[in-house]
Structure 1
């Protein structure tokens, strides 16, 4: 039987402080986002002198190996029930509170991976949490970014914007043992080419239950327009992408207020165009236990989902946007996946 354990660690050092007795665990990974975890602990089992928001992080072990980690941000004590609820977010959440605050601002034109490395290392060098960037590999895709000091660019936002464009990438943080004695936790930033990972084909009522499917056409567009920063004259750079039209004319518009050139807007408009090509099918499903290891279903991976249920006729490829785990007091685990049509993740121009 799979075993689960939750560690309390120091956010900065990664040193393991305690193994927490838990009454329930919920945790999940979200594509190109922080993900979250909620852990229940008996009220008298937590030490307020060592466990606290920001300074502490939580790590979920699965059969003794780290599977999820991130800073603790809130704790809610229920004195009547004698319980403490701990809420953590993945390591990426830390970078929502770190900024590119170099004197004079930041300017860089280089490979995507080198931009990521520069931003994370700036935080590491200034009392950060030691995110390992050594596994980031260059792609040959050159991007330029420029922010003045007064723009005070949020590092998490900068990473998200770099990933979420045509020719972008999927990123995730991998939590791991940092020493052989298993007394310290580390984490590294990883980057994959978009839709480069696969997951096994799933069939409704064979190896998974498709619990719901949403169909969203609100972001469809025959034209996609990306605007940049106001240059002070009321004029903004922009780029337009046209999609084949099979219905009424629709326009999707986005503004990227910190991009100052048309060239920087080209991959943004292309990504917006890809997202608006068709309605998005969004299935949610639960995996049957024991059929596949949950590690086979990473956010960003794609594969086919088959379901034949009246209006729902799925026989296409999807990308996992979220994976959620729930572990009850008996140690029984359920794994749920949220997905979206693969087509909206496919780049039109990977330059």
Structure 2
């Protein structure tokens, strides 16, 4: 059985403040998003002088290694039950509260350069010290132009850059910054949409239980339109892209009101069209206990999923979009995965 520990850390420095006993734990990662963590602890187990929403971080450690980390945003105390519930979101949630207060303008910069610049700028001014050393050159030039009066939210800027044609996936890693395990760090990883490792094969009733498979054509599109800022003559900039697929004509219009470059809008329209070439198949499954570690499954990686159950005939490559692990006070863990067919994520430039 795995050994879990919950550490309270200081959000800015990553310094470990305390180890917290827990009565229940649920945590997980989501593709290109913050992920979340909920921890139940005894009401008298924490010091209100040091544990506080907005100032504290929570780190989940499994068998000695950090498996999740993020910031504590809310806490609910149940005095009758003598329990305190801590609700955290992953490190990316911090950047939803940071803006490019000086604006940002480039006529053409590499994706990686922009990411490092935005994150480093935040962390030079009272941030959470995100390590950007793993953000390697992407070879993808992009144009951006935000004035300081637009107060562009950094998390939104990153998400929009990721979602364009030729974009990327991203995630954060929590790690020990010293051997004494007294300080943790967080590191940003960027990887191209077509950089798929194939680390796993999941077979229904072999090493997992596929609980459901959803099929969704909502994102399918024959004509995609990305509408941008006002061009100054009463008209708006528009980027377009089309798909040649066998279905009735279906148009999708998405607005990006702060985009002032047609080429950027075209990239966004292409990404929408590329993701809309086929219905999305979304398997949800529970891993068999003791077969895998939760850390074996990193959001954004791909593997094979096999199901043969009546209407459901799945035998292909799927991308992991979400991982959630529940742990009770006895240490029993259940890990659930959500995936989507790989074709949705294939994107060219």
TM-score, structure 2 normalization: 0.97
Q: Which runs of 5+ in 1 are unaligned?
A: none
Does the 8 A contact of 1:195 with 1:302 survive in 2? Answer: no
Describe the SS at the equivalent of 1:117.
Answer: helix
Residue 296 (structure 1) shift: 2.4
Q: Does residue 336 in structure 1 map to residue 329 in structure 2? A: no
| 1:1-351 aligned within 5 A | 1-102=1-102, 105-108=103-106, 109-196=108-195, 197-347=197-347, 349-350=348-349
Distance (Å, rounded) in 1 between the aligned partners of 2:131 and 2:213 = 38
Distance (Å, rounded) in 1 between the aligned partners of 2:215 and 2:233 = 41
Q: Which moved more, 1:127-136 or 1:196-205?
A: 196-205
Residue 295 (structure 1) shift: 2.2
Residue 245 (structure 1) shift: 2.9
Does the 8 A contact of 1:37 with 1:88 survive in 2? Answer: yes
Structure 1 residue runs of 4+, over 6 Å off? none
Distance (Å, rounded) in 2 between the aligned partners of 1:250 and 1:155 = 32
Q: Which runs of 5+ in 2 are unaligned?
A: none
Residue 324 (structure 1) shift: 0.3
Deviation string 1:321-340 (CA, Å, 9 cap, x unpaired) is: 10001011110111100011
Distance (Å, rounded) in 2 between the aligned partners of 1:274 and 1:142 = 19
Describe the SS at the equivalent of 2:181.
Answer: coil
Does the 8 A contact of 1:195 with 1:301 survive in 2? Answer: no
Does the 8 A contact of 2:198 with 2:304 survive in 1? Answer: no
Distance (Å, rounded) in 2 between the aligned partners of 1:33 and 1:224 = 24
Distance (Å, rounded) in 2 between the aligned partners of 1:181 and 1:283 = 41
Describe the SS at the equivalent of 1:6.
Answer: strand
Q: Give the CA RMSD over aligned residues.
A: 1.1
